[in-house]
Amino acid sequence: MESLKERSRRNSSGKRKHTGSISTIDRPTKHLREEDNFSDGCSEVDMMPPDAAITSFEEMALGMEPERLLPTAALADSAEWQRTIESVVRNVVSIRFCQTCSFDTDSAITSEATGFVVDAEKGYILTNRHVVCAGPFWGYCVFDNHEECDVHPVYRDPIHDFGILRFDPKHIKYMPVAALTLRPDLAKVGAEIRVVGNDAGEKLSILSGVISRVDRNAPDYGEGYNDFNTNYIQAAASASGGSSGSPVVNIDGYAVALQAGGSTEAATDYFLPLDRPLRALECVRAGKPVTRGTIQTQWLTKPFDECRRLGLTAEWEDVVRKGFPKEVGMLVAETVLPEGPAHEHVEEGDILVKVNGELLTKFVRLNEILDDSVGKPVRLLLQRGGRDIEIELTVQDLHTITPDRFLTVCGASFHNLSYQCARLYAIAVRGVYVCEPAGSFRFDGMDKGWIIESVDNRKTPNLDVFIEVMKTIPDRARIVVTYRHLRDLHTMHTSILHIDRHWTSKMRMAIRNDETGLWDYEDIADPLPPVPVLPKKAQFIRLDHVSQPCATELVRSFVRISCAMPLKLDGFPKARKSGFGLVVDAEKGLVIVSRAIVPYDLCDVSVTIAESIIVEGKVLFLHPLQNYAIVQYDPKLVQAPVISARLSDEPMRQGSETIFLGFNQNLRVVVAKTAVTDITTVAVPANSTAPRYRAINIDAITVDTSLSGQCGSGVLADEDGTVRALWLTYLGDRAHGGKDVEYHLGLATSSVLPIVRQVQQGIIPKLRYLNVELHLVHMSQVRIMGASEEWIRKVEEDNPERHQLFMVRKVECGQSQVLQEGDMILSVNGKVMTRITELDVMYDKKELDMIIIRGCQEMRMKVPTVPTDDLETDRVVIFCGAVLHRPHHAVRQQISKMHSEIYVSARTRGSPAFQYQLVPTNFIMAVNGIKTPDLDSFLAEVSKIPDNTYFRLRVITFDNVPFVISIKKNEHYFPTMEFIRQGDTWKRQTYDGKLPHEGLESNIMVDSMDEMAGYE
């Protein structure tokens, strides 16, 4: 059989952050399927600046492993250093954590880093802010003796790269827990230091260095989270990924700084000074709020020579140099945000001389004054172009412009724009930010950075107004939304969105709770029922200038099909697909469309007629082999001259002239007169990394026009408009680089027509089929395999155009089959089988009478066919962020042994399944040693497991490698849910403990799901 292949973040240079890939640490490579490391287009790692000299923070999405630099340990440490290090390592912990969903500048992540105990009695751990996470966090820490303990955030700084986690010291039983003392005053140039932490998450590393600077500006990591308004400490320690949050200690064992980042263009590391972390720790210890003040201005330290160019007078320079003899620069305003306290008072380039009458040049003192003056006025003395400018400003509470809540509705998440984002783009801190652009609010183009301007023609300046507007919009409504991107605020975008309040019915507010470390969920409003749709009128376009008269009539038989999937099932890579379908019965509203557009029936189907009328559709039939689906819309709602296409029952011939009519990438009709170049049995390549639906055992038609490669939907027709073949998109494998390969081929209507006629009569076909994949063998091979001269003559007489037979290439797993791989089929029910279409008799036969050749021996046998009732997925369980269902048809086609009835189809980033490496294409065999052969037994066992406890899963890979993993259950963020098809509808239920109830209550979103074992 001819193969279709024969036919047809960051550029970060570095080291700062470790991917946190537990898989590459704790899992042998044999447990993972071979894959390409790439993104499927829904990834959050596409927005990084090119050629960043400074590395980005924690390459949060698995699979983005930075180049690791081998640590240089202090091999010749003195006895004093040895004693210090022995004391310090007991206080250092490895932190493994997840952010469960996208929030602010951070995406859903699974990663690991370092922290160290700063209060042994109360259980406080200091680490980086990008470890504590801006959004919902769950994780645990591992001490030096490998005792594990849950941690939760109690504080994350709005700006500076530090946060505080808390653990229960009582849970550490086998070693004394001590704490490191914070001494920011001991961080001095020339001081010898050690960085004690994880070496790429694999082991404890001790890296030596010497502090070279204490006054550098905060490093800029490009888009995303960045620290600012602080000086950083610089040293050469060559810290590698996973060392984020490591203590920087001196020879006396004091923590003098916090490891935070580094550059790979030089062996340089950047450490955060501990002045503000020490203050925050003292406030947290005392149970007091950590006040943070701001005037919404970013300052940079600039040397005196540059300050002079900006207008610093010699008199003020003399005063400053005498007051601070060791200083070499001053603070200069870099960015002043519109509408902030400093707006129209401070200008970019202003040099800060005094605050409240006090001369200062350092961030430490400026931050102290602002943090102690929240809600109070401060007086600034500035130098602007050689002139003294005195102003008085009221200090704003920084926490009020740092989001601590987010709204989830229609499959997407929103919060007020943060100071972090606003500062990056120098815009006002206002607007509704789409932190998880998914579901109904999945915009075209860039993944992140959208600001909602209006919804349903109503302005939405903030989250509260946005909530009130969304409460009034019924389910399945289509509304106008305007929005801008942070990178291009000059351009207003307008889209019409289809509101989904049925798959994700809850409108929920998540609010951060610093007492428990959790984000508490609150239901905001129930969905409004859909508004009844009224009939509408429309006219199709006319093709007056097309040379083929039949084209104008054929256009009236095409409608646009849009399909939105709430879950990723069956290995399908996309959450949305659209294309054109052919109306085969206008009176009943029947449309035939490619399965590359409608892959399964857990979806929303929209049908657009004449590019004017949009109505809902439903899936009636999915063909198991021939790559098409039949959907239905309500024709009573459509007052347009839709015409039923006339389908021919005559097969096409090679060389026949035909009219090609298709729709190109711009959704425009293109028409050409052409000829059929080939009709041959093809093999759509299987996707090895994630099995998904593919057409097999079909004859594909190709034509002699370049338009055929540009069009994914269309027909081949006679001059009178009779349709001879459908032009469909076939989803193939995934190429290197992450792009899904699609093939555009014709399917003869003579194969489709019998199914269409049954559906027209109200009968949903219950097909049977041979569960084998066939491929062509030519006569030279047939002779060698043992065919007699008589059979060769019969083949030549039966098909003068193609002297060929078919051989069994693969037998599907699961159902018993008398055919074996390598069998060559001579005849079916007494007919020589030289065309794949002659196998269509299997669809309504319980068994076939076949003559085959096996091992050079001719054999006659009765071959039973297999029902297709259970080929489509009709039940889905979501557990710990993993999407589980029975192995779908593509799995059975590609695997040789069915390990279990529980197949991992996808998983959500930031979930336990992602953290503990339950990867797609795995099969679950047992829970806590109890065999779970199917979903019922699996649900029975996992319902016995208390929340936040570990359990064991026995798992086997697609390639037959068994292993056991342990996973911690997390019902707060990832409850167990189930989708069950009942008739032509799907029922949803969520398990709350052991009792299921209706409703989808989870952060799980289809756009954050990975259907492949690779890491994004």
User: Residues 153, 121: contact at Cβ < 8 Å?
Assistant: no
SS3 content of the chain, % helix, strand, coil (to 5): 15, 40, 45
C-alpha closest to that of 59 among 973, 1015, 916: 1015
User: Residues 554, 721: contact at Cβ < 8 Å?
Assistant: yes
Catalytic residue among 130, 415, 775, 899: 130
> Would you tell me how many other CB atoms lie within 10 Å of the CB of residue 479?
19
Give the per-residue SS3 of 204-264: EEEEEEEEEEEEEECCCCCCCCCCCCCEEEEECCCCCCCCCCCEEECCCCCEEEEEEEEEC
3-state class (DSSP) for residue 707: helix
User: Residues 907, 918: contact at Cβ < 8 Å?
Assistant: yes
Burial class (CB in 10 A: 0-12, 13-18, 19+), 876: buried
In Å, the largest CA–CA distance within the chain is 111
Catalytic residue among 161, 350, 604, 1007: 161
Beta-strand runs (E) in 586-640: 590-594, 604-609, 613-622, 628-633, 638-639
* Paired strand residues for 951: 967
Per-residue tokens: 460: 């939405």
> Would you tell me how many other CB atoms lie within 10 Å of the CB of residue 598?
25
C-alpha closest to that of 540 among 556, 553, 551, 554: 556
Residues 6 or more apart whose CB falls under 8 angstroms from that of 237 comprise 193, 195, 207, 208, 209, 259, 267, 269
CA 981 to chain centre: 26
Q: What's at 326, amino acid-wise?
A: K
Residue 171 appears among annotated catalytic residues: no
> Would you tell me how many other CB atoms lie within 10 Å of the CB of residue 854?
16
Residue 208 appears among annotated catalytic residues: no
User: How far, in Å, are 288, 683, 998 from residue 733 at the CA level?
Assistant: 57, 11, 37
Q: Computed over its alpha carbons, how large is the radius of gyration of the chain?
A: 33
Residue ranges of the alpha helices (H) in 372-515? 419-425, 463-471
Distance CA 416, CA 400 (A): 10
Residue with the two structure tokens 């009221």: 394
Distance CA 348, CA 361 (A): 17
Residue with the two structure tokens 């989270």: 225
3-state class (DSSP) for residue 288: coil
Distance CA 100, CA 908 (A): 9
CA dihedral (905, 909, 913, 915) positive or negative: positive
Catalytic residue among 107, 111, 238, 243: 243
3-state class (DSSP) for residue 918: coil
DSSP strand pairing (950-956 vs 962-968): antiparallel
Residue 778 appears among annotated catalytic residues: no
C-alpha closest to that of 694 among 605, 627, 789: 627
Catalytic center residues: 130, 161, 243
